[in-house]
Chain A
Amino acid sequence: MGRGPILTRGHRRNAVVLGSGSGSSYKGPIMAVVSDRVIGSGSGPGSGSVSGTLADRLRLGSLTEDGLSYKERFIVRCYEVGINKTATVETIANLLQEVGCNHAQSVGFSTDGFATTPTMRKLHLIWVTARMHIEIYKYPAWSDVIEIETWCQGEGRIGTRRDWILKDNATGQVIGRATSKWVMMNEDTRRLQKVSDDVRDEYLVYCPREPRLAIPEENSSSLRRIPKLEDPADHSKLGLVPRRADLDMNQHVNNVTYIGWVLESLPQEIIDSHELQTITLDYRRECQHDDIVDSLTSVEPVEDAEAVSKIQGTNGSIAATENNEDLRQFLHLLRVSGDGLEINRGRTEWRKKHAR
């Protein structure tokens, strides 16, 4: 399974930015910043340190006015762009993770990098990703600026969800939407745990009061079950190995790496002719640094002919959807080589590329 947002920045909370070093003439002004002790524990305001680092000031993101969501802008860098001259889906996934981390940090969580509430830390509980669903309607190109808004809310008794909306900063057009489901796990026993009321209360203050879904459609594929694909798969790529850069501090494979692995077993002609529109991943088991992974892909017939015709703007029935050129759909499986233990299941939807 994936983990919650990674990285520790414990030292930053106490960093004070003032006249920094002999060479600089800039006196960093002090900015009021939410500290752990102001929020969430009910102690009086102003008792915590009120300092902000320069990066906080320069950060292109902030809580929205009502404090219930967080927005940040990102520029797409040249090395984040792939064979289509547009940002890769891994880049998008990385940015979603980044803005999620920054949101958690801005409301005072995440002093240990895990977006955990104080009670969770006391009980050695962490968030792990259960499902990740990303839809991209228009991929940004190098130097494009995108604005991502994110928020979280409870999801039943066992989990929480985080949603994102991605917009083209210049036009305001929605270029993507994403949603994810997280469950709580004891980091020592690695067993799942129900979200207790005191934990829920700690983070619910930051969540919208009314359910707010990035993808509200009831027939959204973000809700659809992902079946296990049948042996033998149509395509496969065996023997994938985690690289050093794929590992987080605990030597577990980063969530985003799985996306790359899922794509590895897609046939070249799909990559050449189509663009990834939607990816849904169910995280089942964590992958360690010395695991070897097999990536399997099979075509999934697009069952809902009506949905397809809506997308295409055509009437009438569409038989033999497997041969439909414009929209392709696949099921995926990542499993440990050898014993075949399931790591992830996935579904992807692809649309035909158009000349840019």
Chain B
Amino acid sequence: MVATAATSAFIPVPSPSAPDPGFKPKKLANLGGMKSKLTSSGGLQVKANAQAPPKINGSSVSLTTPVETVKHEVEMSSSSSSSPPPRTFINTLPDWSMLLAAITTIFLAAEKQWMMLDWKPRRPDMDMLIDPFGLGRIVQDGFVFRQNFSIRSYEIGADRTASIETMMNHLQETALNHVKTAGLLGDGFGSTPEMCKKNLIWVVARMQVVVDRYPTWGDVVQVDTSVGPSGKNGMRRNWLVRDYKTGEILTRASSVWVMMNKKTRKLSKIPEEVRGEIEPYFLDSDPVVEEDSRKLQKLDDNTADYVRTGLAPRWSDLDVNQHVNNVKYIGWILESAPLKILESHELAAMTLEYRRECGRDSVLQSLTAVSSNGVGNLASLADIECQHLLRLEDGAEIVRGRTVWRPKYAENFGTFGQLPAESA
């Protein structure tokens, strides 16, 4: 069970001086007493050595060890006067290792000179010191949670870029860590303590993702997430994914959540006690993704162009309640997307409506209909739009979806405005 981290466990980093094109608050949310708790240490400058210990490995281990280890590594690499690594082996290894060490030392000494001349407050190394393992932290006055991910080799797809599932996994991870860091994690699933008392859970109703560019192996992405209201009884969660190095926005996403009683499986209004817990964190910001409000049509055997049956959850698809993880649905939806589209195009935008959950014993079918720009001409250089349905064999709907695909390497063709209107 994940421990509830105290909100003060993370020191908010002062926002960078450059204007941050992140979540623009329309108006500040109701500032309850919670907010002061978050920013009580707002004036604290982050020092290289001072790191509030996150709870690593489930308990408050005295974390001088990992911090010191990181510090030590950074010192090792940035100290110009460090001696070359001591020779610890006695064998016939040639001396190029010494030469290499000498080169490294020279370059690092030069680097130290440059850094001293041109030190800016926001250095990636600082982030590494604060957050060496990418646990994430609260920024922007407590309303935004930020976490970095380096793209691992097994997260990339056949075209050598991160798969859409990887991107969605990162979004899910930051959402959970946001709730955990804010001290609102009642049960490890995003239910707050009050919600747990009332047997309430969050259920995702709708999801929209727009990908401008996919990262590749070794890239580092920075994910910012925040929550806000959605109507009277829903919650909206927004994400912005940036290339950590360049600040370029890679992905924008927005999801709508509703509350459900986990025993009765009926939707519920947000009770006052829960409102009190979560509203202080609401950031009522401009939408990060233009709302795609077009109705998603329901496909059937006649209207679908492609059908893939016999999709069954594996053990690794299940969460602790043995329900299928939301992100897995996306993989299944794409199972029936025609290979020709996957080869020539990349997923630019996706809208999903979640209708029903499924478990270990479900067997699913994935239906796809190509609805524009591509009928009979899949190799065209235009954008393609598809409709999707994921359903059980008895016809019960799990997810409806719409995807938009743009030709791969679109940038190379020098065309502007490749993205369709709804993703602008």
Contact = CB atoms under 8 A, between A and B. Distances in A.
Q: Do A and B come from one complex?
A: yes
Interface of A: 5-9, 12, 17, 20-21, 23-32, 34, 38-39, 45-46, 50, 53-60, 65-68, 73, 75, 77-79, 81-85, 88, 90, 94-95, 97-98, 101-102, 140-145, 168-171, 205, 209, 239, 241, 243-245, 247-249, 251, 254, 256, 260, 263-264, 271, 356
Interface string B44-60: 00000000000111100
A144 B18 contact: no
A263 B2 CA distance: 26
Contacts of B66: 145, 169-170
Contact of A143 (B135, B172, B216): B135
22 contacts: A9-B216, A26-B124, A27-B114, A29-B115, A30-B110, A53-B245, A58-B220, A81-B320, A83-B318, A83-B320, A83-B322, A94-B152, A97-B154, A143-B57, A144-B56, A145-B56, A170-B65, A171-B61, A209-B89, A245-B165, A260-B316, A264-B315
Contact of B316 (A45, A75, A90, A241): A90
Given A59-B150, A263-B315, 15 more contacts: A23-B247, A32-B103, A38-B100, A55-B218, A60-B132, A73-B133, A78-B172, A78-B176, A79-B327, A90-B316, A145-B56, A168-B57, A170-B56, A254-B154, A256-B154
Contacts of A8: 160
A55 B124 CA distance: 10
Interface in B192-239: 216-220
B250 to A, nearest CB: 13
Interface stretch (B90-98, B271-279, B411-419): B90-98
B75 interface: no
Contacts of A12: 218
Contacts of A81: 320
Contacts of B158: 244, 247-249, 251
Contacts of B244: 54, 58
Nearest to A251: B158
Contact of A29 (B103, B111, B217, B325): B111
Nearest to A245: B331
B88 to A, nearest CB: 5
A254 B153 CA distance: 12
B5 to A, nearest CB: 9
B247 A21 contact: yes
A55 B216 CA distance: 11
A79 B315 CA distance: 13
A85 B320 contact: yes
Nearest to A17: B245
B315 A170 contact: no
A281 to B, nearest CB: 16
Given A38-B96, A271-B315, A66 B58 contact: no
B315 A260 contact: yes
A260 B319 CA distance: 15
B314 interface: yes
Nearest to B158: A249
A54 B122 contact: no
B399 interface: no
7 A-B pairs with least C-beta separation? A29-B111, A55-B218, A94-B154, A170-B57, A21-B246, A79-B169, A32-B104
B188 interface: yes
B134 interface: yes
A9 B218 contact: yes
Given A34-B100, A75-B134, A244-B335, A20 B58 contact: no
B204 to A, nearest CB: 14
Interface residues of B, number: 83
Given A6-B153, A170-B57, A171-B61, A26 B135 contact: no
A244 B342 contact: yes
A249 B173 contact: no
Interface of B: 1-2, 18, 55-58, 61, 63, 65-66, 85-86, 88-89, 91, 93, 96-97, 99-100, 103-104, 107-108, 110-111, 114-115, 118, 120, 122-125, 128, 132-135, 148, 150, 152-154, 156-160, 163, 165, 169, 172-173, 176-177, 188, 216-220, 244-248, 310, 314-316, 318-320, 322, 325, 327, 331-332, 334-335, 342
Given A39-B96, A169-B66, A245-B157, A50 B133 contact: no
A54 B99 contact: no
Prevailing SS type, chain A contact patch: loop
Of the candidates B114, B120, B152, B334, the one having the most CB atoms from chain A within 10 angstroms of its own CB is B152
A65 B86 contact: yes
Nearest to B100: A45
A78 B315 contact: no
A29 B150 CA distance: 19
Given A5-B153, A26-B123, A141-B58, A31 B173 contact: no
B315 A55 contact: no
A207 to B, nearest CB: 11
A256 B66 CA distance: 30
Contacts of A30: 107, 110-111
A224 to B, nearest CB: 25
Contacts of A50: 103, 107
B310 A66 contact: no
